[in-house]
Amino acid sequence: MPSKIKNIEDIRGHLSPRKIAKRASEQQAMFDFKELTAQPPEWLDDLAVSEWQRIVPLLKADVPISELDVAMLASYCQTYSDIQKAAKHIQDEGPVVEAVSGSIKVNPYMNVKRNATQDLMKLADALGLSVYGRLKMQIKGDVKTPDDPFAKLVKNE
């Protein structure tokens, strides 16, 4: 598994000017792809389109999302919609249903919801839509730390 690239501001230790320039160009290259258009794919259902319209402006502001990511983002939105639909069926029918044979079984939408939720979590991490995903990406590197009055003394500022 390759190591993640840290923001230049977050790197501790000595780096040569050459390595700093290389890291800066790698970091900037993440934003050099064709920008994501705000139009969702036509195959998304109405709820998925609503989710697309909600998250795309948020992603554009903080994540280097591009046209290359349309399929993954659309999959996230459609999976979100699938979870909502399965939850509605479960709410209407209950977590258990009666089978044709008369026996009681788990509502099939429970499995649909569980599987879609697992997929959604993976997609959210990959897109930076979860706390864990954003921490892994470390794009902005502007994590707030409490003010420490002794920090300036330690840094010799």
Per-residue DSSP letter, 107: -
DSSP string, 29-60: HTT-SPBPPSPPPTTS-HHHHHHHHHHHHHHH
Tell me how many degrees the CA angle 118-92-117 measures, rounded to the nearest 5: 5
Q: How far, in Å, are 37, 65, 125 from residue 59 at the CA level?
A: 12, 7, 13
DSSP three-state, residue 103: coil
Closest CA to 54 of 27, 80, 26, 20: 80
- What's the start-to-end Cα distance of the chain, in Å? 38
Tell me how many degrees the CA angle 44-129-89 measures, rounded to the nearest 5: 50
3-state helix, strand, coil in the chain (%, to 5): 60, 5, 35
pLDDT at 6: 53
- Residue 88, pLDDT > 80, answer yes
Greatest C-alpha distance within the chain: 78
pLDDT at 141: 46
For 43-67, the pLDDT digits (tens) are 999 999 999 999 988 888 777 788 8
Percent of the chain predicted with pLDDT > 70: 69
With a CB cutoff of 8 Å and minimum separation 6, the contacts of 5 are: 23, 26, 27
Higher pLDDT, residue 133 or 52: 52
Distance, CA of 140 to CA of 28 (rounded, Å): 12
pLDDT at 131: 79
